[in-house]
Chains A and B, each alone.
Chain A
Amino acid sequence: EVQLVESGGGLVKPGGSLRLSCAASGFTFSDYNMNWVRQAPGKGLEWVSSISSHSSYIYYADSVKGRFTISRDNAKNSLYLQMNSLRAEDTAVYYCASWETTPGRFDYWGQGTLVTVSS
């Protein structure tokens, strides 16, 4: 069974940093492209960042470019999101999501971790 479990969320002040993690199991992690998708409270879904199976290709939404860094460790079956210079508008539940063969189609999702940016 595919499992994606996010961690690392919490309360942080504007301008602060946070590192999210996503632990994967139940599938061959190194075969999958991984993503972060976020959802602000009461709002819709917004794609944040994507990393290919062996980190060759990395993409960011314009809203986070230059502030967030996505990475992965295939030996540890883990995905990360380093978030710097956080703003109030970054407050959201952050989901990790995966796709294997079709770019941008999110086949599996984790349960999410809440990031709150507030003073």
Chain B
Amino acid sequence: EIVMTQSPATLSVSPGERATLSCRASQSVTSSLAWYQQKRGQAPRLLIYGASTRATGIPARFSGSGSGTEFTLTISSLQSEDFAVYYCQQYNNWPPGTFGQGTKVEIK
């Protein structure tokens, strides 16, 4: 089973600043990587798929990059509604589609 490791566990950022989240796979997942946003008490929401394609309705301030084993989610200018937990997930080896443990983006 592919293990997904996210860093950091918690990221403290001021509104308007840039946030960079990392995700590493234990073996290559090519570009079959998704990012999800989960706000407190809500279901996850698909943000990015194919490592770099924004899902429908996702603002341009969210961008994804990487391939193989190293991936990055960047939020260019944090808005108040962006403070949440972000999960990466590989779906190259399906099933199972394994998730990372999450990165919490909190207000600094």
Contact = CB atoms under 8 A, between A and B. Distances in A.
A103 to B, nearest CB: 5
B60 interface: no
- Using C-beta atoms within 8 Å of the partner chain, give the interface range for chain A: 10 to 19
B44 A103 contact: no
B8 interface: no
Which DSSP category, helix, strand, loop or mixed, fits chain B's interface? loop
Contacts of A32: none
Interface in A20-57: 44-47, 50
Interface string A77-119: 0000000000000000001000000111111111110000000
Which DSSP category, helix, strand, loop or mixed, fits chain A's interface? loop
Interface string B51-64: 00001000000000
B34 A106 contact: yes
Interface of A: 44-47, 50, 59, 61, 95, 102-112
Please name the 4 residue pairs, one residue from A and one from B, whose CB atoms are nearest each other, closest first: A104-B91, A104-B97, A104-B94, A109-B43
